[in-house]
Structures are given as structure tokens and as C-alpha cells.
């Protein structure tokens, strides 16, 4: 098994190296035969996918066959591991996850190379760049983090098992989603660099990569929030975001990617920000790699498993090469990136994008700065400091609130220039609605002056209402225009409107998802928790709930031993649920993990954790969290997915208009996004 896998990895390295070198030669040599050479490079790239897929399949089969002669399988699997987790072994450790990364990159490249006829030369350039990235990962896999390294000495009877924290259904989909996001940014990066290298005319490369970027961004969003949901459900501390370096690593490219998705519209519509967009997508790709370096090099300490390894130097060298390449071609061809228009007014859609980008980059800088400050502190002061959630919350929450404000104002601004009268007209009712919401909340007992977290919470909800009302007013206004011209009812007109400009209205739906998530975050200011030892019949009160311990017991199966409690939940004197918080002891890895029992409602989550047993009394200790509005975070993610999906759909043609002789003869003008 290990020999097949090792051979596949070597062959993949040879093929991708050929794809890179032959592709490069074909681009440099414009003479006879270069076309055929380029074609062989493309086919070698396609073959790379097949060979890496073979290596990945071999590793998964080895996990299912309990082939503990392979060190990776010994360290990350065991005989009694359930089948889905054996499959997840592929990305559960350092070497396997790098192989998975390489496989995803090859899959993306396969699609690109199959669609090369869209623009042969641009795709050939992008293909060479992707092959170069692939060579790096295959060098790592062959010489620094070999997934098929064999065990020395006698063969072990069983493996160490998968980390218990990873034995959770979401871990079967969270890493693939996250990696699809990270790896996916290679594609827009490759196209951007290719366009710069060949001084590609116009904005076609942006149109080609737009869907790639949106899909990648959507997958990264899913990956990040699946990780947050996993942390919430598995780690048992009642939260979903801890400011850990691995979490931060995923957030940084997401922030710059979000900035790119906004600012790229300025290039498409107005031919502006060409240099900025080029560097934004370069930075997004480099931050993906940099995040991987951070979490796999041991430079910063993390609760995640990859932190201790020696492959950091490889990533530093790779980053240096990428940066040098980008700078070289930028300096060489920067005259190609001149802006075609000028900014006419500060009150315009263009400047709202500029400030949106600024705030997203400041947020990204804060995350990067907070992640690296412990290292900097050690250099300067000789001792490390911790930069945890209190720092990130204090610095980034005001930035997030400003971003929410811009999310509300931005869509109301016209391109080029907006008159203050028009802004007032569009903004008045949403602003009244937001202020009214604030007044109602204060009237209901929210006291923002008592605590900063209450203040931030109130502001978040008010600004979210503001965004929601502006989004709704945009739909209603556009829907009315369509309705007037087609005779359709308002909701049908709004659906028609969304289909006619999917990107714009899909974007609004994404904004709506973001505010739903922000409302979920705002609830954390009102979290409560209690901890208590609970014997038979013991009661604990938290918020409107009374918890009564019905029983507690133990169980045992080949993979783990478990203890759990049966807790009846009462509200207003009526039993409404029974929850079973559990703690498991995994035999192979000799590690313990919690299985949280969560009753989630739109109002709040009742979240129970089995903390352990009192050694003297044998009774369980239960920790109860009451976390308001958490469900809205996950609902918001679904809305974002729906919005992204809508934005990916091609625009529908305008419907046939109902003849209206009394009306103006000019075609309806729908404000462009």
C-alpha cells in the first residue's frame, strides 16, 4: 500500500513539474511546436489530478484496512473507528491534510484545464502558475511531510485513534469546506497574476474568475461557520469563536476576499482600483498560505493539532517566492493597471467601496497583528503575552459596527455621485426604523450605559435593522418598477427583479444573512451560565428553565466508554424536553471528549455540558449555559449560502412589457449596482 502511495506522489510531482516547465517554455517560445508543447503541459496537469487522487484513495483504503504499517494511519486511526471518521482520516493529520490540499488544488486545476478554450493563452498562463503552486505542495509531500512513511520495528496491533474532538459529524465536512475555500483562492490568484504577466487587455479575466471567487468565498464562509458550530457543539465551553490562531488564519483570507468581491465591482463598472484589486487577490492567496504556515509551523501556539512541525521553513520560502514574483511583475507591468476614470464625489458608491475595503483590511490587520503580537513581544520584551478574545472583541467590534453602517449606506449611494437629497430620501425611513428599534429595546429594559457589551449589542441590533430596512426598500422599490411595467404583483416582481440582476440582489441577500449573524452575535452579551453537582432529583434553575436530574449512568462500546446524565427540562412548570449531556473516554487515544446537549430555539440555546463526576459522591457535575439568539448565527449562514447561490445564477432576460400607451416611451432605467 505505502509503495503505491509513495510512487503516486513521486509521479504526481514529476507530472506537475513537467506541466510547469513545459507550459512555461511553451509560453516563452512563441515559435513552432510551442502549441503542442503547451498541450502536453495541459495534459500532464490533468494527469496530475488522476495520480494525486490515486494517492488519496490509497491512504483512505489503508485507513479502512487498518494498515498500521503506515505511520500516518497508526497515528490517526484505529480498528474500532467508525467508517465516516476513517474516511476523514485523510485530513485529520498534517501529512494527510497536505495531500488533501494538493488533491483539491488538482481538482480545481482540472476544471480550469478542461475549460481552457474560453481563452487559451490566459488559461495557459494560469495553468502554469497553478502547476508551480502544485509543485510546492508535492515537494512538501514527497520530502517533508510524507503521508506514506512506514512504521519502524514490529507492526502495532492497533492505532492511536483519531483525536476525539474530531469524532463529530461536522468534522467530516468542515475541513473539506475550509480547504476548498483556501485552495480555491489559488484560481483567482493565478488568473490575476496571469493577466498581469501578459498585460491582458480589459476586465475579461475578472469576468472569468468572478464565479470562481464567489464559489470559493462561499465555501470558505461555510467552512469557517462549520468550524464555529463544531467548536460550539464539541468543545463544551459554550462559545463558538475563541480567537485561536487557527481560527484567525481562516478569517484573514476571508476578510481580504470579501474586500476583493466588493472592490472588483469598481473595476468592472468604472475601470478603477486595478492595482488595488490585483494586490487584494495576491494578498488573499498569500494569507491562505500564511495562515497554513502559522498553524503548521509552531510559531504560535494553538489548540489545534498541527501546531508542532518542522515544515514552517518551506512555507516561509514559498511565501517569499510568491511575494517576489508578484512584486516583480507588478513593477514590470504596472503601467497596464492605470485607472480609466476618476472619482467624482466623496458621496458615491465608489467611495463607499473604498471605505468598506479600508475597514475590512483594518479588521484583517487587527487579526494578523493580534495573532503575531505574542511572537513580537517575545522578540522585544523577552516574554510572550496572550492575545485572546478580550483584545479581538475590543478592537474589532467597533470596526464591525462601522462596516454594518456602510453596509446600510453603500447600496443607497449611486455610482459617480449621490445628491444629499436622494440620500436623505432613501435613508430617512430605515434610519427612523433603526432608532425606533433602539428606543423599544431600551424601553424593554436594555441598559446600554451599564456595560460596554450591552452598548455594542444595542448598536449591532439597531444597525442590523437599518441594513435590513435598506435591503427591503431596495427590493420593494425595484419590485414596484417591474410591477408597473409587467403588471405582476409585488412579490412576483421582486422575484423577477432578483432573477434579472442576480449578482446585485444575491449580494443584498448575503448582506441580509450577515445582519442575521450579527444579531446572533449580539445575543452573547446576555449569556448566562451555572454549574452544579446534580444527584437524582436535584434541581438547577437558569433563566426561565428548571433542570431536574432524572438519572445518570454509564455505557461502554469498543470505541469509547461514556458517562451521561438524563436531565428533564421544565419551563413554566411544564416539562418541555429531556437532554442527555455526555462525556466520552476514547480508548485508543486515551482522551476524553464532551458531547454537549443543546436545546436550540430562536430565542435562546439551553446548552448542557457534563463536566465530570464528583469523585467522592459519584454524582455528575452539570454546567448549564443559556445563550440567547445563537440559532440566528446558523440561520444567517444559510441565508448567505442562498444569496451566494443566487448571485452565481446567470441573469434572466427582461420580460416582455405590457403595452402602456399612456406612459413614457423610454425604457425603464434600473439603478445599476
How far is it, in rounded angstroms, from Cα 204 to Cα 384?
Answer: 48
**All cell numbers assigned to 500:** 434579472
How far is it, in rounded angstroms, from Cα 361 to Cα 283?
Answer: 11
Near another protein in 401-440, by CB under 8 A: 414, 417, 419, 422
For another protein, the binding residue among 57, 358, 423, 561 (CB under 8 A) is 358
H/E stretch holding 195: helix 186-197
- Specify the residue, 419 or 603, whose C-beta has the smaller distance to another protein: 419
Is there binding between residue 666 and another protein (CB under 8 A)?
Answer: yes
- Specify the residue, 27 or 246, whose C-beta has the smaller distance to another protein: 246
Cell 446572533, residue located = 520
For another protein, the binding residue among 388, 487, 544, 558 (CB under 8 A) is 388
Strand partners, 609: 623
Nearest one of 119, 131, 129 to 207, comparing CA atoms: 119
Is there binding between residue 302 and another protein (CB under 8 A)?
Answer: yes
- Specify the residue, 90 or 272, whose C-beta has the smaller distance to another protein: 272
Is there binding between residue 633 and another protein (CB under 8 A)?
Answer: no
To the nearest whole angstrom, how small is the minimum distance from the Cβ of residue 516 to another protein?
25
For another protein, the binding residue among 373, 454, 526, 570 (CB under 8 A) is 373
- Cα angle 643-233-388, degrees, rounded to a multiple of 5: 85
For another protein, the binding residue among 64, 168, 355, 570 (CB under 8 A) is 355
To the nearest whole angstrom, how small is the minimum distance from the Cβ of residue 518 to another protein?
20
* Residues near 424 by beta carbon (within 8 Å), at least 6 away in sequence: none
Total residues in contact with another protein, by rule CB under 8 A? 81
Is there binding between residue 233 and another protein (CB under 8 A)?
Answer: no
Q: Which stretch binds another protein (CB under 8 A): 117-125, 351-359, 564-572, 633-641?
A: 351-359
How far is it, in rounded angstroms, from Cα 374 to Cα 369?
Answer: 9
Helix axes 186-197, 174-184, angle to 10 degrees: 0
For another protein, the binding residue among 531, 558, 601, 660 (CB under 8 A) is 531
Q: Which stretch binds another protein (CB under 8 A): 108-116, 255-263, 613-621, 653-661?
A: 613-621
To the nearest whole angstrom, how small is the minimum distance from the Cβ of residue 504 to another protein?
13
**All cell numbers assigned to 563:** 458517562
To the nearest whole angstrom, how small is the minimum distance from the Cβ of residue 478 to another protein?
7
Q: Which stretch binds another protein (CB under 8 A): 405-413, 436-444, 518-526, 612-620?
A: 612-620
To the nearest whole angstrom, how small is the minimum distance from the Cβ of residue 503 to another protein?
18
- Specify the residue, 373 or 454, whose C-beta has the smaller distance to another protein: 373
How far is it, in rounded angstroms, from Cα 474 to Cα 161?
Answer: 53
List C-alpha distances in Å: 543 to 276, 506, 523, 527, 610.
Answer: 50, 38, 14, 10, 19
- Specify the residue, 134 or 396, whose C-beta has the smaller distance to another protein: 396
How far is it, in rounded angstroms, from Cα 261 to Cα 644?
Answer: 12
- Specify the residue, 180 or 367, whose C-beta has the smaller distance to another protein: 367
Q: In 3-state terms, what secondary structure has residue 627?
A: strand
Q: Which stretch binds another protein (CB under 8 A): 77-85, 105-113, 530-538, 553-561?
A: 530-538
Near another protein in 307-346, by CB under 8 A: 338-346
**All cell numbers assigned to 29:** 517560445
- Specify the residue, 40 or 377, whose C-beta has the smaller distance to another protein: 377
Is there binding between residue 384 and another protein (CB under 8 A)?
Answer: yes
3-state secondary structure 548-608: EEEEEEEEECCCEEEEEEEEEEEECCEEEEEECCEEEEECCCCEEEEECEEEECCCEEEEE
To the nearest whole angstrom, how small is the minimum distance from the Cβ of residue 247 to another protein?
11
Near another protein in 58-117, by CB under 8 A: none
Is there binding between residue 298 and another protein (CB under 8 A)?
Answer: no
How far is it, in rounded angstroms, from Cα 73 to Cα 611?
Answer: 31
- Specify the residue, 84 or 398, whose C-beta has the smaller distance to another protein: 398
Is there binding between residue 269 and another protein (CB under 8 A)?
Answer: no
Is there binding between residue 533 and another protein (CB under 8 A)?
Answer: yes
How far is it, in rounded angstroms, from Cα 224 to Cα 201?
Answer: 35
- Specify the residue, 87 or 373, whose C-beta has the smaller distance to another protein: 373
Is there binding between residue 365 and another protein (CB under 8 A)?
Answer: yes
The DSSP secondary structure of 116-137, one letter per residue, reads: GGGSHHHHHHHHHHHHHHHHHH
To the nearest whole angstrom, how small is the minimum distance from the Cβ of residue 671 to another protein?
6
The DSSP secondary structure of 655-669, one letter per residue, reads: PPPPP-TTS-SSPPP
How far is it, in rounded angstroms, from Cα 143 to Cα 129?
Answer: 21
- Specify the residue, 154 or 666, whose C-beta has the smaller distance to another protein: 666
For another protein, the binding residue among 583, 598, 631, 634 (CB under 8 A) is 583
Q: Which stretch binds another protein (CB under 8 A): 7-15, 76-84, 311-319, 664-672?
A: 664-672
What is the pairing mode between strands 620-628 and 560-571? Answer: unpaired
Amino acid at each position: 500500500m505505502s509503495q503505491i502511495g509513495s510512487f503516486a506522489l513521486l509521479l504526481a510531482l514529476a507530472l506537475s513539474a513537467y506541466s510547469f516547465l513545459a507550459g512555461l517554455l511553451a509560453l516563452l517560445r512563441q515559435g513552432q511546436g510551442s502549441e503542442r508543447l503547451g498541450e502536453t503541459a495541459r495534459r500532464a496537469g490533468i494527469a496530475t489530478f488522476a495520480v494525486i487522487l490515486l494517492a488519496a484513495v490509497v491512504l483512505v483504503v489503508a485507513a479502512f484496512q487498518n494498515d498500521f504499517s503506515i505511520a500516518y494511519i497508526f497515528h490517526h486511526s484505529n480498528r474500532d473507528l467508525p467508517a465516516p471518521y476513517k474516511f476523514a482520516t485523510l485530513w485529520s493529520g498534517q501529512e494527510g491534510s497536505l495531500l488533501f490540499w494538493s488533491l483539491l488544488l488538482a481538482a480545481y486545476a482540472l476544471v480550469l484545464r478542461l475549460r481552457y478554450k474560453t481563452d487559451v493563452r490566459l488559461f495557459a498562463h494560469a495553468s502554469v502558475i497553478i502547476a508551480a503552486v502544485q509543485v510546492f505542495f508535492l515537494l512538501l509531500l514527497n520530502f517533508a511531510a510524507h503521508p506514506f512513511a512506514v512504521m519502524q520495528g514490529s507492526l502495532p496491533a492497533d492505532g492511536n485513534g483519531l483525536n476525539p474532538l474530531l469524532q463529530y459529524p461536522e468534522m467530516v465536512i468542515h475541513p473539506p469546506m475550509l480547504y476548498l475555500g483556501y485552495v480555491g483562492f489559488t484560481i483567482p490568484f493565478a488568473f490575476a497574476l496571469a493577466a498581469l504577466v501578459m498585460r491582458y487587455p480589459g476586465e475579461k479575466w475578472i469576468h472569468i474568475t468572478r464565479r470562481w471567487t464567489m464559489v470559493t468565498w462561499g465555501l470558505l464562509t461555510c467552512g469557517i461557520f462549520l468550524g464555529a458550530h463544531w467548536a460550539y457543539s464539541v468543545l463544551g465551553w459554550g462559545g463558538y469563536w475563541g480567537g485561536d490562531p487557527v481560527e484567525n488564519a481562516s478569517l484573514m483570507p476571508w476578510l481580504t476576499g470579501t474586500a476583493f468581491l466588493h472592490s472588483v465591482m469598481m473595476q468592472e463598472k468604472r475601470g478603477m482600483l486595478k492595482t488595488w484589486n490585483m494586490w487584494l487577490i495576491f494578498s488573499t492567496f498569500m494569507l491562505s498560505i500564511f495562515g497554513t504556515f502559522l498553524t503548521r509551523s509552531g510559531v504560535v501556539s494553538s489548540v489545534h493539532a498541527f501546531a508542532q512541525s518542522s515544515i514552517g521553513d518551506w512555507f516561509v520560502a514559498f511565501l517569499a517566492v510568491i511575494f517576489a514574483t508578484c512584486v516583480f511583475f507588478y513593477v514590470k507591468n504596472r503601467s497596464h493597471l492605470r485607472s480609466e476614470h476618476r472619482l467624482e464625489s466623496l458621496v458615491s458608491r465608489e467611495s463607499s467601496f473604498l471605505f468598506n475595503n479600508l475597514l475590512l483590511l483594518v479588521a484583517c490587520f487587527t487579526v494578523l497583528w493580534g495573532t503575531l503580537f505574542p511572537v513580537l513581544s517575545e522578540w522585544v520584551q523577552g516574554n510572550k503575552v496572550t492575545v485572546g478574545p478580550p483584545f479581538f472583541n475590543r478592537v474589532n467590534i467597533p470596526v464591525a459596527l462601522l462596516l454594518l453602517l456602510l453596509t446600510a449606506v453603500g447600496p443607497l449611494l449611486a455610482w459617480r455621485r449621490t445628491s444629499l437629497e436622494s440620500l436623505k430620501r432613501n435613508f430617512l425611513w430605515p434610519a427612523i426604523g433603526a432608532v425606533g428599534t433602539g428606543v423599544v429595546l431600551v424601553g424593554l429594559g436594555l441598559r446600554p450605559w451599564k456595560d460596554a457589551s450591552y452598548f455594542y449589542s444595542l448598536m449591532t441590533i439597531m444597525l442590523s435593522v437599518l441594513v435590513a430596512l435598506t435591503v427591503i426598500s431596495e427590493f420593494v422599490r425595484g419590485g414596484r418598477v417591474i410591477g408597473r411595467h409587467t403588471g405582476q404583483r409585488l412579490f412576483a416582481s421582486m422575484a423577477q427583479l432578483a432573477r434579472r440582476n442576480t449578482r446585485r440582489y444575491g449580494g443584498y441577500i448575503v448582506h441580509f444573512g450577515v445582519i442575521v449573524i450579527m444579531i446572533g452575535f449580539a445575543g452573547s452579551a446576555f449569556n448566562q451560565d451555572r454549574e452544579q453537582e446534580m444527584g437524582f432529583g436535584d434541581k438547577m434553575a437558569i433563566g426561565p428553565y428548571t433542570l431536574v436530574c432524572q438519572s445518570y449512568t454509564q455505557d461502554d462500546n469498543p470505541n469509547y466508554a461514556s458517562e451521561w446524565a438524563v436531565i428533564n427540562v421544565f419551563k413554566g412548570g411544564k416539562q418541555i424536553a429531556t437532554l442527555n449531556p455526555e462525556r466520552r473516554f476514547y480508548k485508543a487515544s486515551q482522551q476524553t471528549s464532551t458531547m454537549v446537549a443543546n436545546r436550540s430555539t430562536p430565542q435562546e440555546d439551553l446548552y448542557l455540558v457534563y463536566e465530570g463526576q464528583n469523585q467522592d459522591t459519584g454524582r455528575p457535575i452539570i454546567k448549564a449555559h443559556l445563550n440567547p439568539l445563537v440559532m440566528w448565527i446558523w440561520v444567517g449562514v444559510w441565508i448567505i449560502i442562498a444569496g451566494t447561490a443566487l448571485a452565481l445564477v446567470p441573469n434572466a432576460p427582461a420580460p416582455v412589457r405590457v403595452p402602456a400607451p399612456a406612459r413614457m416611451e423610454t425604457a425603464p432605467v434600473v439603478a445599476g449596482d
